[in-house]
């Protein structure tokens, strides 16, 4: 039987089922990237959260190999609840109940094929969305008995490592996400638009607590906040490593069920 590949991060969607079964038999950690299809300013594409989630999964998978373990990355969930950006072209928001039910079935489906440790790697930070991701993971874990982690980088000890803008709550399409994109998929960043955007410092969590229901109410008429112009690829590299390490730690903490 041929060795499973270890030089590159494996994507389940690119493999025949017979290969996927071998990963399950070898107790691979299943990684599920979760993002959104959502406006991210005039300089970034709709798929930002998916790109970041997939890149973090890829790095987690490479780190697991270095520890003598295997990861297998499942096809990303590309739609979520994205009410704040709903008015901007291309943004698709799925109501919480439908998104939760769908995600629960995806996670339970992965578990049903013998993957006993699952990392759900979510990078769409809208509070109601992140909540339903946690709920779906719990529901799938309860139903299947698999161990499911949802690393939450909004909290310490990870959040303080993600830069000033992130901790001050201005993390939508600003320096944080734009740096991540410059590192993960620079060909998708519109550099001309990015460099000309004025800084828009803002505390999104505070605005949401105060009753804002969309990005325009929050003071972001172009669906970005923070400082995209100051983003750098080097900072994106650093952020990706922080996020990958935190997610790796979360999946390694999962109990290896019999």
The H or E element containing residue 33 is strand 29-34
Which residue, 47 or 146, has its beta carbon nearer to Zn ion? 47
Judged by CB under 5 A, the residue of 10, 20, 49, 247 near Zn ion is 49
Which residue, 48 or 60, has its beta carbon nearer to Zn ion? 48
Give the three-state DSSP class for 219.
coil
The count of residues interacting with Zn ion (CB under 5 A) is 2
Give the three-state DSSP class for 25.
helix
Query: Is residue 248 near Zn ion by the rule CB under 5 A?
Result: no
- Bridge partners, residue 46, by sequence: none
Q: How far is the CB of 206 from Zn ion (least distance, A)?
A: 18
Q: How far is the CB of 257 from Zn ion (least distance, A)?
A: 33
Q: How far is the CB of 173 from Zn ion (least distance, A)?
A: 7
The stretch near Zn ion (CB under 5 A) out of 40-48, 58-66, 160-168, 206-214 is: 40-48
Count other Cβ atoms within 10 Å, centred on residue 16: 7
Distances (CA, A) of 63 to 9, 13, 117, 155, 251: 10, 20, 16, 22, 11
- What's the per-residue H, E or C state across 82-130? CHHHCCCCCCEECCHHHHHHHHHHHHHHHHHCCCCEEEEEECCCCHHHH
Q: How far is the CB of 115 from Zn ion (least distance, A)?
A: 27
Which residue, 49 or 55, has its beta carbon nearer to Zn ion? 49
Q: How far is the CB of 150 from Zn ion (least distance, A)?
A: 17
Which residue, 208 or 252, has its beta carbon nearer to Zn ion? 208
> Which DSSP string corresponds to 163-210?
-HHHHTT--SSSHHHHHHHHHH-GGGS-HHHHHHPPPB---HHHHHHT
Which residue, 41 or 119, has its beta carbon nearer to Zn ion? 41
Q: How far is the CB of 112 from Zn ion (least distance, A)?
A: 30
Which residue, 49 or 248, has its beta carbon nearer to Zn ion? 49
The stretch near Zn ion (CB under 5 A) out of 46-54, 70-78, 138-146, 154-162 is: 46-54
Chain residues that interact with Zn ion, rule: CB under 5 A: 48-49
């Amino acid at each position: 039987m041929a060795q499973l590949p270890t030089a590159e991060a494996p994507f389940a969607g690119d493999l025949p089922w017979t290969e996927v079964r071998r990963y399950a038999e070898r107790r691979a950690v299943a990684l599920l990237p979760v993002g959104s299809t959502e406006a991210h300013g005039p300089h970034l594409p709709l798929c930002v959260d998916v790109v970041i989630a997939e890149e973090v999964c890829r790095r987690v998978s490479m780190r697991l190999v270095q520890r003598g373990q295997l990861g297998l990355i499942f096809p990303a969930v590309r739609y979520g609840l994205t009410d704040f950006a709903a008015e901007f072209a291309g943004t698709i928001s799925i109501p919480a109940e439908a998104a939760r039910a769908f995600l629960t079935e995806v996670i339970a489906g992965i578990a049903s094929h013998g993957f006993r440790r699952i990392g759900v790697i979510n990078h769409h930070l809208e509070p109601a969305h992140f909540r339903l991701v946690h709920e779906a993971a719990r529901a799938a874990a309860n139903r299947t008995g698999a161990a499911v982690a949802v690393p939450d980088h909004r909290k310490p000890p990870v959040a303080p490592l993600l830069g000033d803008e992130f901790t001050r709550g201005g993390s939508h399409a600003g320096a944080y996400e734009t740096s991540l994109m410059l590192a993960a998929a620079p060909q998708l960043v519109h550099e001309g638009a990015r460099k000309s955007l004025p800084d828009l410092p803002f505390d999104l969590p505070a605005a949401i607590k105060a009753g804002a229901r969309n990005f325009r109410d929050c003071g972001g008429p172009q669906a970005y906040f923070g400082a995209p112009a100051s983003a750098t690829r080097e900072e994106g590299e650093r952020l990706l490593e922080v996020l990958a390490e935190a997610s790796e730690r979360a999946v390694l903490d999962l109990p290896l069920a019999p």
